Chains A and B, each alone.
Chain A
Amino acid sequence: MNVKEVLGNLGLLEYFAEKRTCKKCGAEENYSVFKNNNMICPSCGAYMRMTADERIDLIVDKDTFIETNASMESKNIIAFPEYTAKLKKAKKDSSLKEAVVCGTGTIGGQKCAIFVMDSSFMMGSMGTVVGEKITRLFEMATENNLPVVGFTTSGGARMQEGIYSLMQMAKVSGAVHRHSEAGNLYIAVLTDPTTGGITASFAMQGDITIAEPKALIGFAGQRVIEQTTGEKLPKGFQRAEFLLEHGFVDIIEERGRLKYTIARLLELHSR
């Protein structure tokens, strides 16, 4: 069987033949062309946002990922208008149950706990389920003395869950604290975009902070800053390179080398 037949049998042929457009330069290619190039546009080199599945394929050793708390789903806990319908639509459009996928696996043979946020589910925003899943992951990692490797991409806290979403920042921070106190490694990998309450909590709490090239990383939104200060934002403001320059990121790593770099760091910290 050739690749086409295998994909056909799996019902994936259409998916891989589906056209995708680079948002940066407008180049149109089959999905498989982008996928085989680590979701980097072959024409202009722009990094496209990755889904959790694509990220796991790229980083985690083949067939080692075991998902945890996979079925946890959000409810409209404060009866926020239109939220129930929004959740339903997000599930349908993203084929995900929530904005983070958690689990265990190996990276370059090193066992670790892994969380991967996915911006295709309500802009990766954090409500109670995202907070709970990441908290449980850190607690499990603390119990088993596992390092945590986390990929962030998020617009911030999910306002449709009101104060509950804000409090998730503190809840996850508690679990990060206990994991760290027990002498475990946490590598945070910041991908485009990582903003708001995620930047102000677990995205910036890693022992090692890696960012993808040109990723938008910041706390306050750019439009809000412009409107409040009336100033023009400097070139490259809140991009990964800007954070590296100001001392808030350890490494900017290109996608093709990311797995190798994470594996080397895990090995170096193994006990």
Chain B
Amino acid sequence: MAVLKPSYERVKAARSNDRPMGGYYIKHMIDDFIELHGDRRFGDDGAIVAGVGYLDGIPVTAIAMERGDSIEERMRRNFGCPSPEGYRKALRLMKEAEKFHRPIICFIGSSGANPGIEAEERGQGEAIAENLVEMMGIKSPIISVVVGEGGSGGALALGVCDTAIMLENSVYSVISPEGCASILWKDSAKAPEAADALKLTADDLYKFGIVEYVIEEENRTSEEICSALKRCVKDEIIAKKALSVDELLDGRYNKFRKIGNCEDNQ
């Protein structure tokens, strides 16, 4: 990476109104995309766009968090904060992908799950928990890309994967810097300090070995970033498709199993 920006600058970049969200990458990476709707239980969540199409001729299922552009669209998409129906739709379509041996690409970019009364009533926690446990067993390759703000459990609900990729100016964190600062220091204005402390940049996560690739953004147009990302995703899909189901699932298990392995002093 050319210039090392302070962490909070990255957070602001990840949240920027002009920054392309998941829907952009579906539009520019996936050919003949057909959007599929609904969780078959309650409704259709506008904050998650999902469907099928081709990545350079390879049939894929693509699932993306999207906040929309116009104010009307943003309201319809709840500003990109997914509801339980969104996670359930995502899981339904991952199982459909599994049935047809189709790889899955997830695009993550959301400030987090929907903090609402209805979302709790309909089991937001249970919906995320179900995705985490079920995604561990999906017999198709899963490639997750953080394109914007990867906010906590809501982001992880599309983040159980074989390969994790982050764009250079995306962030991925257990809590927003504002939330962290207000809980720890009773002052959300200390978000920049919290952002540094949380180590949430793509660079940090690459160093921790939690993401496998970082796509550079410096001096690149959105189109150039998109095509670099597409190459990276395609290579990973080809590599993961070559594995047996056992190798794939063991690899996925071990990818997360090794994070924070502790010694026992007994």
Contact = CB atoms under 8 A, between A and B. Distances in A.
Interface of A: 69-74, 77-78, 80-82, 127-129, 131-132, 135, 157-159, 161-171, 173-178, 180-181, 196-197, 199-205, 217-221, 224-225, 228-229, 231, 233-234, 237-238, 242, 246-248
Interface residues of B, number: 56
A158 B124 CA distance: 20
A237 B153 contact: no
B251 to A, nearest CB: 11
A81 B120 CA distance: 32
Interface in B220-266: 252-253, 256-257, 259-266
Interface stretch (B11-19, B52-60, B100-108, B168-176): B168-176
B132 A201 contact: yes
Interface string B125-149: 1101110111011000000000000
B133 A178 contact: no
Given A72-B265, A203-B125, A248-B126, A77 B200 contact: no
A167 B259 contact: yes
Contacts of A202: 129
Contact of B122 (A74, A81, A218, A246): A246
A203 B173 contact: no
Contact of B152 (A80, A166, A173, A228): A166
Contacts of B208: 163-164
Contact of B210 (A72, A163, A175, A228): A163
Nearest to A73: B265
Interface stretch (B20-28, B62-70, B111-119): B111-119
B34 interface: no
B132 A72 contact: no
A219 B117 contact: no
Report which residue of A73, A199, A242 has the largest number of chain B beta carbons within 10 angstroms of its beta carbon: A199
B266 A128 contact: no
B153 A166 contact: yes
3 tightest A-B contacts by CB?
A128-B260, A199-B125, A219-B125
A162 to B, nearest CB: 5
21 contacts: A71-B264, A80-B197, A82-B184, A132-B260, A159-B198, A163-B204, A166-B172, A167-B260, A168-B260, A170-B136, A170-B160, A170-B259, A171-B259, A173-B136, A176-B133, A200-B156, A205-B133, A220-B114, A225-B116, A234-B117, A248-B123
A163 B123 CA distance: 24
Given A159-B198, A174-B136, A181-B137, A197 B121 contact: no
Contacts of A163: 172-174, 198-200, 204-205, 208, 210
Contact of A219 (B133, B153, B174): B153
